[in-house]
Amino acid sequence: MTVVDLRSDTVTRPSDAMRRVMANAEVGDDVFSEDPSVRELEEAAAELLGKARALFVPSGTMANQLGLLTQTRPGNQVVVGQGAHVACYEAGAGAAWAGVQFATAGQRGYFSADEMLQVLTPASPHVPKCVLVCLENTHNHSGGRIFPQADVLAVSAAARERGLRLHLDGARLWHASAATGLAPRELAAPCDSVSVCFSKGLGAPVGSALAGDSELIQEAWRFRKMLGGGMRQAGIVAAGALFALRHQREDLVHDHEKARAVAAILAQGGLDVIEPETNIVMVRLGAPAHHLVDACQKQGVLFFAMGPNLVRLVMHRDVGLREVTHAANIVVRCQRELVPAAP
């Protein structure tokens, strides 16, 4: 049985070309800042994002947590969008390590400048002090939703007026760039720090980066060590990330095309589909989501339930258009078997 894995774009595997680059990577001890492949990746990421420096880290969660640790103090408040990864899917790390409280603004990951202002705590010794606003672009929980750049600029302007800093969770910023045509540096420009991932859409086996000014990244380097993220001959994996950054970003538009094709098949089959903006297809169900997930798994199609009545299918470079359309037809068939049409 052919298995089509649409659980996440993290399931991709290194291509043969990437493996060759990794096998031949020049390495050193990165804890001593002596790994040339890591340095090359960090310089390339910083340049693409328009920041002074970047720091290579094992995961997007660590990159986001470094963004919090370098820009907040315990007891501070951080504004996030509904369903933000940094608040909902990082095992409570924001509270455990940075000691921050989250205030949620807007809906489905998006919030306007006015909605941000509505949740800010007043200046008072009795309430948490808000110091940071976190944006997520694209937004995972809402299905790869793009945060419109005009609204990012408006949020940034309102935040600056109140002395707040901005962090951008850009784990899938490459997708936002591919979909909008805006360069990563333009998308990241309004923010003080930005995290990006190499192991999702780009297809590298591991790694993320945090970018910002030199002082922020120097402090992040210390926190990375504190959290156990100091790596030695990390150039082997950094080389894979650099290959992905330089050679596989242009392929992301194909994942968007596959998402639109899958969404069309599901919609034609009677499912309630949230129109995809990038590589993620979200489907609302009238029955428990795990029933459809289990039924499709038996037919070789893997995806996640994102809530009691919501499922997520993620397109990526390791599945072709033929595979994903086959998978979409199986989803439609399984749903019809679970919920027969009314006579």
Q: Are 98 and 69 within 8 A, CB to CB? A: yes
Cα angle vertex 330, ends 327, 336, to 5°? 145
Residue 110 is predicted with a pLDDT of 95
* Amino acid (one-letter) located at 308: P
Close Cβ partners of 303 (under 8 Å, ≥ 6 residues apart): 6, 7, 293, 296, 311, 312, 313, 314
Could you count the other beta carbons within 10 Å of the beta carbon of residue 69? 23
For the chain, residues classed under CATH 3.90.1150.10 are 251-338
Encoded tokens for 81: 């969008």
3-state helix, strand, coil in the chain (%, to 5): 45, 20, 35
Residue 122 is predicted with a pLDDT of 85
| Cα-to-chain-centroid distance, residue 49 | 15
Q: What is the per-residue pLDDT across 109-126, written as a single tens digit (0 to 9) for each?
A: 999 999 999 999 888 888
Residue 341 is predicted with a pLDDT of 55
Residue with tokens 């080389």: 239
CATH architecture of 251-338: Alpha-Beta Complex (3.90)
Ranges of the chain whose pLDDT falls below 70:
340-343
Determine the CATH number of domain 16-247: 3.40.640.10
Please give the model's pTM, rounded to 2 decimal places: 0.94
Residue 343 is predicted with a pLDDT of 46
Residue 254 is predicted with a pLDDT of 97
Residue 339 is predicted with a pLDDT of 82
For the chain, residues classed under CATH 3.40.640.10 are 16-247
Phi, psi of 206 (to 5 degrees): -165, 150
Residue 125 is predicted with a pLDDT of 87
